[in-house]
Amino acid sequence: MSKTIIFTDGSSRGNPGPGGWGAIVSYAEGSEDRVRELGGRDTNTTNNRMELTAVIEAIDFAASKGLVKDVVLYTDSEYVKKGATEWIHGWKRNDWKTSAKGEVLNRDLWERLSELLPKVSIEFKVIKGHSGVSGNERCDVIATTFADGAPDVLFDNVVEKYKINLDVGNHASVSKDTKSKSSSKKAYSYVSMIDGVVKTHKTWAECEARVRGKSNARYKKSFSKENEDEIIKNLAQR
């Protein structure tokens, strides 16, 4: 096994509410290829905190095993991926403040992750949740059973005995073709942020009028109400 493969997921029953997290780590140890499932619970938490906790615990486990090179982590959370690969650097420079000078949500977890990331050469990849990726589906089961207070039995043995297929196929990340197609889709709205103030616009002309010439402006096209809500949440975290 040339790479260490990690899957993670988090869940909460309410936001906040009881939550759980799950992770799968597939790795080489000596002459054996092994799989270790990890999981845990919090009685009062959020989905994002559980997503982050799963990543932190999985990377911490990998580092404890000396698995510091060629690590690939699959998550269905854009919040986790963008936070870990983009936003975290600005947050640290700004003393854990967002671009709007507000406190970074879940700062305690981001600080823990920032301490772990330099120890491991890791590539984050986003997969769509509930899209048939067995590793992701299994992490969801682990997370939800912990959230419900009835955790599933966690696997820790050689890979030959593991019944879950950890192949990802073409589900990981968004291809260039997919990106180019989505850019031509009809917009639901446009979201802009200037000095921490977020606004939505029905047309690009309205959005452009607000952001043009503003060096600190951020804006993005949305394709549904759910997508709009996610963009607003992500902008507020930056």
Catalytic residues: 9-10, 51, 76, 130, 140
Q: Are 144 and 87 in contact (CB under 8 A)?
A: no
Pairwise CA distance, residues 87 & 146, whole Å: 29
Q: Are 27 and 166 in contact (CB under 8 A)?
A: no
Pairwise CA distance, residues 222 & 51, whole Å: 23
Instruction: Report residue 15 as tokens.
Output: 């936001």
Instruction: Report residue 93 as tokens.
Output: 């420079």
